[in-house]
Copies of this chain bind each other. A is one copy, B any other.
Amino acid sequence: MRSIRPSVSRRIPESTVRRLSHYLRSLEELAREEGLTVSSEELAKRGQTTAAQVRKDLSHFGSFGKRGLGYQVDGLGRRLRQILGVDRTWRIALIGAGRIGSALFAYPDFQSRGYDCVAVFDADPEKIGLRWGDVIIQSSDAIEETVRAEAVELVILAVPASAAQDLAERSVAAGAKGILNFAPIRLRLPKDVHVEDVSLVMELEALSFAITQSGGVPE
């Protein structure tokens, strides 16, 4: 039986979600290496955070573990996979078969983590028709038809900024529910579409910000 809860994702900080991913990685390592339970202190050490933060992060999702006994490694791992939505396979499409796109496509962890890339699109006639693994690169003109026919849920958008908004809208109109956006623009999409922006320049800016601020700023 499933019951529907109102969206909890709105009130969960993004940093918490990142840490849940880290905890899951740690639990998977522990499951290989060691015993049956793990303390919040041990999860904290592996995740470069504090035991209090671990307990707070997990408390958003219910009650785990027993005082003094720690968490069951396999049980907590299973629950985190449910929470993160990775206890199932996601059908994804890659739009953009350039350098970033090809690096992503070859990324070994995608498949093993349940992200199944069922289609690749590009606008370049020289790329259309090429075979990547089990997939043949299609023209971007086929996005609507293929996203619908293949029941694609997530789209990785690795195209220039000028093309991104249009391609995102067409993916969403055909049924995509989430977009991992590598284009350096802020996409404008309906509120029920989830977008994660990956901007390499923004990541570097976050670093240069941290170094600049911690070293003192000009007044």
7 residue pairs A–B, Cβ–Cβ below 8 Å: A7-B214, A8-B217, A20-B209, A92-B204, A154-B208, A180-B200, A196-B203
Contacts of A201 in B (CB 8 A): 21, 107, 109-110, 113, 115
Q: What residues of chain A have their CB less than 8 Å away from a CB belonging to chain B?
A: 1-5, 7-9, 12, 14-15, 17-18, 20-22, 25, 46-48, 82-86, 90, 92, 99-100, 102-104, 106-107, 109-110, 113, 115, 153-154, 177-180, 184, 186, 188, 192, 194, 196-214, 216-219
A216, B99: Cβ atoms closer than 8 Å: no
New contact pairs (11) apart from A21-B206, A196-B203, CB-CB < 8 Å: A18-B206, A20-B205, A46-B186, A84-B208, A84-B212, A85-B205, A107-B200, A154-B204, A178-B211, A179-B207, A198-B203
CB nearest neighbor in B for A107 = B200
| Partner pick for A3 among B103, B213, B216, CB 8 A cutoff | B216
A177, B213: Cβ atoms closer than 8 Å: no
Contacts of A48 in B (CB 8 A): 186, 188
Q: How many copies does the complex hold?
A: 2
Q: How far is the CA of A203 from the CA of B92 in the complex (A)?
A: 13
| Partner pick for A204 among B14, B99, B113, B184, CB 8 A cutoff | B113
Contacts of A153 in B (CB 8 A): 211
Known: A9-B213, A46-B186. A180 touches B203 (CB 8 A): yes
B103, A186: Cβ atoms closer than 8 Å: no
Contacts of A216 in B (CB 8 A): 2-5
B5, A206: Cβ atoms closer than 8 Å: no
CB distance from A26 to the nearest CB of B (A): 8
CB nearest neighbor in B for A194 = B210
